Amino acid sequence: MDAQPENQIVTAVLNAISEQRLPAGAKLGEQALSDLFQCNRANVRRALASLAAKHVVELRPNRGAFVIAPSGQEAREIFQARRAIERTIARQAVTRVSDDDITCLRRNIAAETEARTLRDKPTELRLSQQFHMYLARLSGNRILERFLAELTMRSTLILGMYSKEGHSCSNCDDHVGIVDALMARDAELLLRLTDEHLRHLEAELDFDLPPVSSVSLKDQLFGASGR
């Protein structure tokens, strides 16, 4: 683990967001973080500033730091941006993909399917994000990769906030089709499936749902078992 407390905080918050332990709107108290990470408040402030620069945390004057809670309109914009970026990524990835990449992607899907079978939602979410980030790396465009890292993080918050109850997502099935299209080096099919997949994710959202959370910051960051 990184020795710098601010980096530890950033990593813990990003992991907790990826696994939907830390929900949209959660308060990140300076004192609570400095106690949990046994560091001073200057470290905490640097960590919060870095998270704000990644657009996953919002700093409100005199009120503190909060995990962002995108509105319905922002959620739509984020998915629209993802469709644009992931189409470009797909177009690049299909020209660069190797057989080893296909093997890695299939392994990722198998792990996602296993997590879903075991009802291990945090792992499933993390692996699903990892699938998209693998393609972004494959595109060879570091700027797009960085944008997508931010957008997938915000999508996870949105899905946590607005997902329809009891809705089981078709993530893994969509991912299988995407890898098949990559393996066939079929750019046209890949673009269509990528677009459809993101529309499926967006279709899971219901903007009338209120966000709820009564879990402590410690449990949100480290899971109920503590660290």
Beta carbon of residue 169, minimum distance to Zn ion (angstroms, whole number): 9
Closer to Zn ion by CB, 92 or 130: give it: 130
Beta carbon of residue 135, minimum distance to Zn ion (angstroms, whole number): 9
Beta carbon of residue 197, minimum distance to Zn ion (angstroms, whole number): 6
Q: What is the DSSP string of 143-180?
A: HHHHHHHHHHHHHHHHHHHHBPTTPPP-HHHHHHHHHH
Q: Which stretch binds Zn ion (CB under 5 A): 31-39, 50-58, 165-173, 186-194?
A: 165-173
What strands lie across the sheet with 64-67, from one edge to the other? 27-28, 64-67, 57-60
Closer to Zn ion by CB, 8 or 171: give it: 171
Q: Which stretch binds Zn ion (CB under 5 A): 29-37, 40-48, 166-174, 181-189?
A: 166-174
Beta carbon of residue 42, minimum distance to Zn ion (angstroms, whole number): 38
* Amino acid (1-letter code) at residue 49: A
Query: Minimal CA–CA distance to 79: which of 156, 173, 177, 19?
Result: 156
Q: Are 94 and 192 in contact (CB under 8 A)?
A: no
Closer to Zn ion by CB, 117 or 216: give it: 117
| Alpha-carbon span 147 to 136, nearest angstrom | 10
Closer to Zn ion by CB, 8 or 155: give it: 155
Helix, strand, coil percentages (3-state) for the chain, rounded to 5, are 70, 5, 25
Report the site for Zn ion in 7-36 (rule: CB under 5 A): none
Q: Which stretch binds Zn ion (CB under 5 A): 51-59, 135-143, 164-172, 212-220?
A: 164-172
* Amino acid (1-letter code) at residue 113: T
| Alpha-carbon span 104 to 108, nearest angstrom | 6
Closer to Zn ion by CB, 20 or 171: give it: 171
Beta carbon of residue 200, minimum distance to Zn ion (angstroms, whole number): 9
| Alpha-carbon span 56 to 184, nearest angstrom | 36
Instruction: Count residues binding Zn ion (CB under 5 A).
Output: 1
| Alpha-carbon span 65 to 17, nearest angstrom | 15
Q: Which stretch binds Zn ion (CB under 5 A): 58-66, 90-98, 170-178, 214-222?
A: 170-178
Positions in the binding site for Zn ion (CB under 5 A): 171
